[in-house]
A = this chain, B = another copy of it.
Amino acid sequence: MNNVQTLKGFRDFLGQDARKRQWLKNTIATVFERFGFEPLETPTLEYEELLLGKYGTEADKLIYSFEDRGARRVALRYDQTVPTARIIAQNKGQLPLPYKRYQIQPVWRADKPQKGRYREFVQCDADIIGTNATAADAEILAVYAAIYAEIGIESLQIRVNDREALILTLAKAGITPDNTFSVIQSIDKLDKKSEDEVIAELESKGITAEIAQNLLQMLEKTSISEKLQSIIDAAVAMGVKKESLVFTPTLARGLDYYTGLIFEGIVPEYESGSVGGGGRYDNLIEQLVGVPMSGVGFGLGYDRTLEAAEILGKVPAFSSSAQVLVTIFNPELASESMKVTNMLRESGVTAECYLDATKKLDVQLKYANAKGIPYVVVIGPDEAAKVVVKLKDMEKRIEKTLTLIELIKTFQNA
């Protein structure tokens, strides 16, 4: 027989797991729509040429690429920024600017699978492209915060910093331009590593201990830049809670293309890392597709945000598969059960009718238990004659005889 396995690093989502993911997607999309962001979906496959060289040499090795049957080199979507840049290049002059778009789709990376890291995972990005106004930076913070408010995660902290100011401090501390990005990558580890460890790492990169220590002290003392303060003020005017925005002068972010605001989201109760982040990138779109255009945006950690919502009890308890199973007493009474099921559904109740009239009642009750269906309806000859039903509460193990109207009301009030 075949290799009946799921590939390593890939996941199946059944039942409730799939429902939770769909709930998160819809919740996020609702917020983006409220802010006037446009949805975008791009194809799974792109010309490999579009993707190669865009993410760095190491990342190029993680791109799933192959030759298609028409001898074209194609690649699976590696992120959502490059396809969006393609859209901007293809629709130059057509898209109203700024182009505010959100995109929630899977991406693929041939990375080593490990806890929390998959080869197929959903990215959730929002970007405002085509303006360098600080109000755009503020709106990016506002929509990010609003998503967590919508989920019900009130504890979200957004660490913010100004990459431009950070680079200035590095220069003042004596870091040469060719070392700047490498130093930023080390500083970015300050929330996971101790200061001593980061200093040791900087020393391994040829920075003297003195310069490294001095740099960290200077960073901690950096005061907020005028621009960053104006972004924060605007974000507060847009509804972000002031106390959730935390100026963090040591925040660095590990990507090289940021040019201004940088930020990341932290849910204090969730300890596996930041739940997303982003910033301003005023040269990236030009680098990617040759169209000079400013941008600011974020990637929201989809799996982590779902985990955080679960830890905080914010994922709704979905009504398993159905609220009620209508059993079939015998083949002659099957159509009575079907009609009652239909009546329930038309009243907005999720209802299943058991499908095999030859199975005994206890088999049907076991099915309800296995699927976590909390109520069961029985319609025997007596009930059918009187046009009533028996309703069993599977957990409390009690049953009542109800008219059809009473039955519907039971669930509509539940």
Residues of chain A whose beta carbon lies under 8 Å from any beta carbon of chain B: 1-7, 10-15, 18-19, 21-22, 26, 29, 33-47, 49-50, 61, 64, 66-70, 72, 74, 76, 86-87, 89-91, 96-98, 100-101, 106, 108, 110, 119-120, 128, 131, 133, 135-136, 138-139, 142, 146, 233-234, 237-239, 289-290, 321-322, 325, 328, 334-335, 338-339, 341-342, 345-346, 348-353, 355-358, 367, 370-371, 373
Give how many copies assemble into the complex. Answer: 2
Which of B15, B39, B373 is A22 in contact with, Cβ under 8 Å? Answer: B39
Which residues of B have CB within 8 Å of A101? 14
CA A239 to CA B69, docked complex, whole Å: 47
Contact A356:B133 (CB < 8 A) given known A36-B321, A45-B7: yes
Contact A136:B355 (CB < 8 A) given known A3-B49, A239-B345: yes
Is the Cβ of A139 less than 8 Å from the Cβ of B355? yes
Ranked 10 nearest A-B pairs via Cβ: A66-B66, A36-B352, A96-B370, A10-B43, A36-B322, A239-B342, A18-B39, A237-B338, A237-B335, A133-B356
Is the Cβ of A38 less than 8 Å from the Cβ of B14? yes
Which residues of B have CB within 8 Å of A33? 321, 350
Is the Cβ of A4 less than 8 Å from the Cβ of B135? no
Is the Cβ of A47 less than 8 Å from the Cβ of B237? no
Is the Cβ of B19 less than 8 Å from the Cβ of A40? no
Is the Cβ of A13 less than 8 Å from the Cβ of B40? yes
Which residues of B have CB within 8 Å of A353? 135, 139, 238
CA A140 to CA B136, docked complex, whole Å: 49
Which residues of B have CB within 8 Å of A86? 4-6
Known: A4-B50, A14-B39, A33-B350. 10 other contacts (CB 8 A): A5-B86, A13-B40, A14-B91, A64-B66, A69-B110, A96-B367, A128-B355, A136-B356, A138-B338, A233-B335
Between A and B, 30 residue pairs with Cβ closer than 8 Å are A1-B290, A4-B86, A7-B43, A7-B72, A12-B87, A13-B40, A13-B41, A22-B39, A34-B350, A35-B350, A35-B351, A35-B352, A36-B352, A43-B120, A44-B76, A44-B106, A45-B64, A66-B67, A133-B355, A133-B357, A133-B358, A135-B338, A135-B356, A136-B355, A146-B345, A233-B335, A234-B335, A237-B339, A238-B338, A238-B339
Which residues of B have CB within 8 Å of A98? 355-356
CA A47 to CA B9, docked complex, whole Å: 13
Give the distance to chain B from A50, nearest Cβ to Cβ, in Å: 5
Which residues of B have CB within 8 Å of A238? 338-339, 341-342, 353
Is the Cβ of B355 less than 8 Å from the Cβ of A34? no
Is the Cβ of A45 less than 8 Å from the Cβ of B10? yes
Which of B19, B35, B43, B131 is A39 in contact with, Cβ under 8 Å? Answer: B19
Which residues of B have CB within 8 Å of A5? 47, 86, 90
Contact A239:B346 (CB < 8 A) given known A7-B74, A11-B43, A357-B135: yes
Which residues of B have CB within 8 Å of A346? 239
| Chain B residue, CB-CB nearest to A20 | B39
Which residues of B have CB within 8 Å of A72? 7
Contact A68:B110 (CB < 8 A) given known A43-B120, A139-B353: yes
Is the Cβ of B345 less than 8 Å from the Cβ of A35? yes
From A19, A64, A87, name the one whose CB has the most chain B CB atoms within 10 angstroms: A64
| Chain B residue, CB-CB nearest to A86 | B4
Contact A42:B12 (CB < 8 A) given known A34-B351, A72-B7, A356-B133: yes
